[in-house]
Amino acid sequence: MPAQNIDGVLLSQQLRGEIAERAAKLTAAGKQPGLAVILVGEDPASHVYVRNKVKACGDVGFHSVLEKYEADLSEADLLARIDALNKDPAIHGILVQMPLPKHIDPSKVIEAIATSKDVDGYSVLSAGELVANLPGFRPCTPYGCMKLIETTGIDLRGKHAVVIGRSNTVGKPMALLLLQANATVTICHSATPDLGLYTRQADVVVAAVGRRNTLTADMVKPGAVVIDVGMNRDDAGKLCGDVDYAGVREVASHITPVPGGVGPMTITMLLMNTLESAERVHSSKQIVPGQASGMDPKPGVA
């Protein structure tokens, strides 16, 4: 029996419905959620993504502002814009679309965003909150992957999850989220000599490599859950993931398609983070030493 398709468009629709309801309550109370999206330069793909994000905001009743700048915008001017948005009470989330032009240091820009508005979850402080199990904004793509995995009903406790890829935006946070859900986690990457050796033992595989056909049917344990974060083009120029969907579908129990899997969920979790920022769900922004709410329940237990 072929794998069940995990439909990221459908799950996004459901979650965006809930987000819209919660947003309407805030708006009625005079606190409409607001997202600012900044785009620098001419990258055509970035223009498409940014347009989708702004449209998604409108669909759930958020206020949004899109600021587009020429590729020669100075780093200082960009930092000044972020500073103004940090202080703007109508804005609860700030997203600076990556990649930035080469003369701008992405790390400087990300760290300039107030942690309370870092809805991408890209800053060092947000990353630290994830590592420490503290409340905070989780990076949208791995956060969305966790929601997709949840729909399969799999209990991750005691399961082996293999993440392929170690980027700061996907692979590393993905591994931490799976770990937090009590999976045993293996991280594989470009220097892993025999990928199949690991993936064949996996109950869950998350592929986030950026190379098509990285995961093929012979590398997958029967019944595994397969999440495809890849965004590549095939020879015909069609969007495809890192997974050989047609082959792996015959072996896995559940699999996400590309497009229509992880991509839409990335935008949905951006909306969720922005909503929770407006609701001030994560109010832990001053970290008080010794009061970390995410302390391990039983200190000393590995």
Ligand X SMILES: Nc1nc(=O)c2c([nH]1)NC[C@@H]1CN(c3ccc(C(=O)N[C@@H](CCC(=O)O)C(=O)O)cc3)C=[N+]21
| Residues noted as catalytic | 53, 97, 120
Q: Are 155 and 179 in contact (CB under 8 A)?
A: no
Q: Is 144 in the site for ligand X (CB under 6 A)?
A: no
Q: Nearest approach, Cβ of 198 to ligand X (angstroms)?
A: 25
Residue 237 phi/psi, 5° resolution? 85, 10
Q: Is 35 helix (H, G, I), strand (E, B) or coil?
A: strand
Would you count residue 259 as binding ligand X (CB under 6 A)? yes
Q: Is 10 in the site for ligand X (CB under 6 A)?
A: no
DSSP string, 208-234: -SS-TTSB-GGGS-TT-EEEE---EE-
> Looking at 24, 80, 239, 281, which residue binds ligand X (CB under 6 A)?
239
Decide if residue 258 touches ligand X (CB under 6 A): yes
Site residue total, ligand X (CB under 6 A): 16
Q: Is 142 in the site for ligand X (CB under 6 A)?
A: no
Q: Is 200 left (phi over 0), alpha (psi -120 to 50) or beta?
A: alpha
When asked if residue 264 is in the footprint of ligand X (CB under 6 A), the reply is yes
**Out of 63, 109, 120, 178, the residue judged to bind ligand X by CB under 6 A:** 120
Listed residue (66, 109, 71, 111) closest to 91, CA to CA: 66
Write out the binding residues for ligand X, residues 93-112 only, by CB under 6 A: 95-98
CA distance 222 to 297: 34
Binding site for ligand X (CB under 6 A): 49, 52, 95-98, 120, 140, 239, 258-260, 263-264, 266-267
Q: Which residues are annotated as a binding site?
A: 165-167
